[in-house]
Amino acid sequence: MAYDPGHAQLMQEALGDTPNISEKKMFGGLCFMLNGHMVCGVHKDGGMARVGKLAEPDALLIDGIEPLSFTGRKMGGMVDVSEDVLGDDTLLRQIVSMALDYVKSLPPK
C-alpha cells in the first residue's frame, strides 16, 4: 500500500462538501482534484497540499508543514503535510482551505 487509506479519509472529510472534487492516483498516492487541478493528497509518509507560491510562506508557519520535495528538489507552491497535521482537524482544515482557495483561483483545465 502506497498510502494510508485512513489519511485519505481525513483529507476527504477536510474537503467537506466541496463540489466537483475528484480523486486521482498519482505520485504513488491519492490526489484530490478540483476542475482538473490538484488540491491536496496523501502519500506514503503523510500528505501534501497545493497552496500556491504566494501562500506558501504562511503555510510553512504551521507546525508540521514543510516544503514538498519528492526528488530532493523543492516543488514551489506545494507543501508536505505531516501525519500530526493530518490528525488535527483544525490544522488540516486550515491547510486544505488554503489549497482550495488557491486552486479555485485557477482556470479550469
Q: What is the CATH number of the domain that holds 11?
A: 3.90.1150.30
* Domain hosting residue 31, numbered range: 5-104
| Residue 109 belongs to some domain of the structure | no
Instruction: Say if 32 falls within a structural domain.
Output: yes
- Written as tens digits, the pLDDT of the chain (109 aa) is 589 999 999 999 999 999 999 999 987 899 999 999 999 999 988 999 999 999 999 999 999 999 998 778 888 999 999 999 999 999 999 999 999 999 999 998 8
- Number of domains comprising the chain: 1
Query: Under a CB-based contact definition with an 8 Å cutoff, are residues 44 and 17 in contact?
Result: no
Is 9 within a domain?
yes
Q: Parallel, antiparallel, or unpaired: how do β-strands 29-34 and 21-26 relate?
A: antiparallel
Would you give the distance in Å from CA 90 to the centre of its chain? 14
Specify the pTM.
0.93
